[in-house]
Amino acid sequence: MRLEQFPSPGAAWLRATMLVCLLTLTACVGISGRELGLLGSTLSPNKVDFVELNAYAGRAKAAYAGEAAIRSRYPATVRVSAPGKTDAQYFLEQDDRAKVQYIAIRGTANRKNLLEDVEMRIREDLSLAIPVHIGFDATARVLYADMKPYLKKNYTTYITGHSLGGAIAALLAIHMTDDGYKVDKVVTFGQPKFTTARGVEKLGFLTLVRVVDENDIIPMLPPTTIVNRLYGIYEHAGPEIILLEGPRYVYLPKHDADRLSVGELGRSLDFADLKDHHIDNYLRRLSDKIAGAVEVTYNERERYVAKKEIAGN
């Protein structure tokens, strides 16, 4: 079942699930007004290539399609597979002339996968030496084992994924780098968190760019306010691009949004909708910025957030 096939109560179910998360908070991570002013009031010198991001998003969407459709759109595809019982599909392209390979991983395809997104158990991955989300890591390992016979170590690798597929893409990149593959870039869309602050400290080598929609709640999960006694708080790695209405966007060079958006989880519950998480929504947001994008500061973003009516109000 795809997200677009979810019955209308899906959004209410998601809000209820998030409410449970909020009611079980074990600690709060605060931020002072002075810190908020400093972190959220500056523009970044980094230029964002929205044509490139759109190409990554196109592959992330294609990962939801059947094999024939994938091979038709991406003729260089050498492998399409959904191994084991993971219900996670990926496809692998290889350009032998340019010596590059692209991996795209399907995201949340059904309610079981969505539950995996919000599940919070974590363990130490002994080979990676970082704390990892149990479900994401297990799936990443199954996919890696399946694709490994087809991968070429002397090729430059680019990886993308949406939702659950984004978290798997990041973990896959870590495993591949550890095995000597050259992973040039990972671009994810609507990706939930897969490690803790302790893990992020060790991931300076990972070239990860995370793209999130203004009202997509999945990237906020598991909440920063959930604290594991052994491994600390869940945290994102890499810079974040927040897609706003029309041509506007926010760029956070370092993911201070974990601290900035503690209060945002509660606000976003009012607007939680599976449509905001859908890859088609990301493609629409990106296409709005190709002709000319306008960066705004984090503190300005509320002026450009599309307000929604809450069902039943």
| One-letter-per-residue 3-state SS of the chain | CCHHHCCCCHHHHHHHHHHHHHHCCCCCCCCCHHHHHHHHCCCCCCCCCHHHHHHHHHHHHHCCCCHHHHHHHCCCEEEEECCCCCCCCEEEEEECCCCEEEEEECCCCCHHHHHHHHCCCEEEECCCCEEEEHHHHHHHHHHHHHHHHHCCCCCEEEEEEECHHHHHHHHHHHHHHHCCCEEEEEEEECCCCCEEHHHHCCCCCCCEEEEEECCCCHHHCCCCCCEECCCEEEECCCCEEEECCCCEEEEECCCCHHHHCCCHHHHHHCCCCHHHHCHHHHHHHHHHHHCCCEECCHHHHHHHCCCCCCCCC
Tell me: the pLDDT tens digits for 80-134?
999 987 778 999 999 999 999 999 999 865 555 454 445 556 566 546 676 777 7
pLDDT at 33: 54
pLDDT for res 50: 97
Work out the average pLDDT over 139-162. 96
More confident residue, 45 or 64: 64
Task: Please state the pTM of the whole predicted model.
Answer: 0.81
Residue 82 has a pLDDT of: 94
